[in-house]
Chain A
Amino acid sequence: MYLHRLELVNFRCYRHLEIDLPKGPILLVGANAQGKTSLLEAAFVLATTRAPYGILDRMLIHWGAGDEVIPFSRVWGKVERTGGPSTIDIVNVRTTATPGDERFTKRLRLDDAPRRAMDVIGTLNVVLFTPRDIDLIHGAPAERRRYLDVLLCQIDRNYVRALGQYNHVVVQRNHLLRRLRDRGGDRTELAVWDEPLVTHGARILSRRAAAARQLDALAHQLHIDLVGDDQRLGIAYRSQVVEAGGDAATDPIRSPDDLDAAPGVAADVANAEAEIAQRFRRLLAGRREEEIARGVSLIGPHRDDLELRLDGVDLRPFGSRGQQRTVTLALKLAEAGVMWRTTGERPVLLLDDVLSELDRNRRRRLLAHVSAHEQALITTTDVTAVDHAQLEHATVLDVAAAVVRKREV
């Protein structure tokens, strides 16, 4: 798939932009803070309906939009897929502007018809590479859960729904647990929140465990391709619920062939989901008193982590800077690989300033993978940092002061 056209109104540093994007690699060249990254963010918004890495809705709207009667930002895109083109329209409107309490409403359209987020997500698939990805390795577990969530939301709309509902249940349930801790009272109410916690939680857990297995199988070879020597990169989903039954996801060594040999992944996932729900329910019953005493939900996907090992050594505390960089690239390429295997479409790659951090060899190896994709948007401050042999057919766009111009060759 590829993003064929992009239109922005009041988005980040762009007041107005309309641009046709070709297939193949696209180099966005310009000095810092000129609007290169905003273009990748716009593509990310089209894919997920949200801004990447915790950018606030307020920050998506161009500062000049405050002059308008109703401040808003708009991202519109036309996506070409095997099945034909689709258009995505995401408008973010500021609905109230009481100082300190700004509120925003998103209006989403797919092919001109109003749609819910879960119907829009997945129309465009993207994988975003940024220097911040290093947080995937030494950041908090939430960073690694988000990595899985961004991947799974784009390929499984049931996951989008389950995740939204689950997060909502956790908030409700934590309020109730806190009230029971502080003021005591009738505990029967807890049961009505346990049930949706388990149902939606089991769905999330089964999908995450399956995705971690696929990532594990793919990332190993990708990492070898990038670094050129045979270290074993292992990825495993770590969860109290999934581990409790000795699930296959806890087995650190699996051959890449397992993935292809696995019969009917969908049936597997459904079975796993029912089993996980049972275990989840049992664990919950066993820790009721502790949960009330601490006033917080202690079990479930919101407490899990993704374990990353290189030749058996945990990368989270021990990885070197160089290892962390290549491992994050392998994780991101594996994310793209899982999307491709699941949907049959190669996602659009968004590379934000990652080339400059790599030596010539690794850059060449990364670009070899990138060029297998139908489209990639690559930002760089220095066009000479890119090997021209690999990007001969690349389109070069100069970005300066929120103006984008195609460079004629």
Chain B
Amino acid sequence: MSSALPRPVARLIDAFARLPGIGPKTASRLAFHLLRMPDDHALQLSEALRALKESVVHCQRCYNIAETSPCEVCADPSRDSGTVCVVEEPLDVIALERTGEYKGLYHVLHGAISPVDGIGPTDLRIDELVRRMGVEPIREIILATNPSLEGDATAMFIERALRANGSEVRLTRLARGLPVGGDIEYADEVTLGRAMTGRSEVR
């Protein structure tokens, strides 16, 4: 950034420019907007950022983001601990919770297999899922990765990993009522609810 800028402003612009989807122009605009903001608003934002990094943890059972481990879902005795829904991202959990159709637990992978992006199975929480199979009374695993090539490949890899481990758990895949190329996150609640009730057996 230009040396005519006070260093703190330049630093903030650089920080914004590192965010996805934000170019240098937008980064400058955001920085100057914050500069003009009332002090307490700007400080609220900085406090929110600090809290994000300090108080958000990964639940050590389902690997969703939470304030505590185990998370609220895992700690809720009314949830069916015999069913685990495997999703790519924490936002997928929120989308599925919104349908009100699902009463089981989750497992968040934090991504999908994608060699182009350098993401392999070991970069995801797949081993952790296999381990859960050994210690939890799981009857069914719902593979709810996105209906994309990467989501399908990830679901297939998990299926093979579980079978190779001798597991005979019931495996199901969310029904394909989802829009082509659409992520779970963007599917509306009705579609997603239907997908959840209409899930199909894997082989």
Contacts and interface: CB of A to CB of B under 8 A. Distances in A.
Interface of A: 96, 98, 116, 161, 165, 168-169, 171-173, 175-176, 179, 185-186, 188-189, 191-193, 195-196
A165 B149 contact: yes
Given A96-B23, A98-B23, A116-B180, A193 B153 contact: yes
A292 B148 CA distance: 25
Contacts of B164: 188
A172 B149 contact: yes
A355 to B, nearest CB: 42
Contacts of A173: 115
A188 B149 contact: no
Nearest to A116: B180
A288 B61 CA distance: 38
Interface string B90-130: 00000000000000000000000111100011100000000
B186 interface: no
B7 interface: no
Nearest to A190: B115
In the A-B complex, the 7 residue pairs with the closest CB atoms: A175-B115, A176-B115, A192-B153, A192-B156, A192-B157, A175-B116, A172-B115
B180 to A, nearest CB: 7
Given A116-B180, A186-B121, A192 B115 contact: no
Contacts of B139: none
B160 A188 contact: yes
28 contacts: A96-B23, A98-B24, A116-B180, A116-B181, A161-B180, A172-B114, A172-B115, A172-B150, A175-B115, A176-B115, A185-B120, A186-B121, A186-B122, A188-B160, A188-B161, A188-B164, A189-B121, A191-B156, A191-B160, A192-B152, A192-B153, A192-B154, A192-B156, A193-B153, A195-B156, A196-B149, A196-B152, A196-B153
Nearest to A172: B115
Interface of B: 23-24, 113-116, 120-122, 149-150, 152-154, 156-157, 160-161, 164, 180-181
A169 B149 CA distance: 7
Nearest to B161: A188
Given A192-B156, A193-B115, A196-B153, 4 more contacts: A165-B149, A176-B115, A179-B115, A189-B121
Nearest to B164: A188
Nearest to A173: B115
Contacts of A196: 149, 152-153
A308 to B, nearest CB: 34
Contacts, number: 50
Contacts of B116: 171-172, 175
Contact of B120 (A165, A189, A191): A189
Contacts of B114: 172
Contacts of B154: 192
Contacts of B150: 172
A252 to B, nearest CB: 36
Contacts of B24: 98
Contacts of A168: 149
Given A96-B23, A116-B180, A195-B156, A189 B113 contact: yes
Contacts of A193: 115, 153
A176 B120 CA distance: 9
Contacts of B122: 186
A342 B43 CA distance: 66
Contact of B160 (A165, A169, A171, A192): A192
Nearest to B155: A192
Nearest to A98: B23
Contacts of A161: 180
A179 B154 CA distance: 18
Contacts of A176: 115
B105 to A, nearest CB: 25
A332 B96 CA distance: 51
A196 B23 CA distance: 35
B120 to A, nearest CB: 6
A169 B156 CA distance: 14
A15 to B, nearest CB: 26
A163 B24 CA distance: 36
A228 to B, nearest CB: 49
A22 B153 CA distance: 50
A161 B180 CA distance: 10
B107 to A, nearest CB: 18
A176 B157 CA distance: 14
Please indicate which of the listed interface residues A98, A179, A193 has the most CB atoms of chain B within 10 Å of its own CB. Answer: A193
Nearest to B153: A192
Contacts of B160: 188, 191-192
B77 to A, nearest CB: 36
B122 to A, nearest CB: 8
Contacts of A165: 149
Contacts of B23: 96, 98
Nearest to A200: B149
A299 B181 CA distance: 26
Contacts of B157: 188-189, 192
Contact of A192 (B113, B180, B181): B113
Contacts of B180: 116, 161
A186 B121 CA distance: 10
B121 to A, nearest CB: 6
A309 B25 CA distance: 57
A171 B152 CA distance: 16
Contacts of A188: 157, 160-161, 164
B119 to A, nearest CB: 10
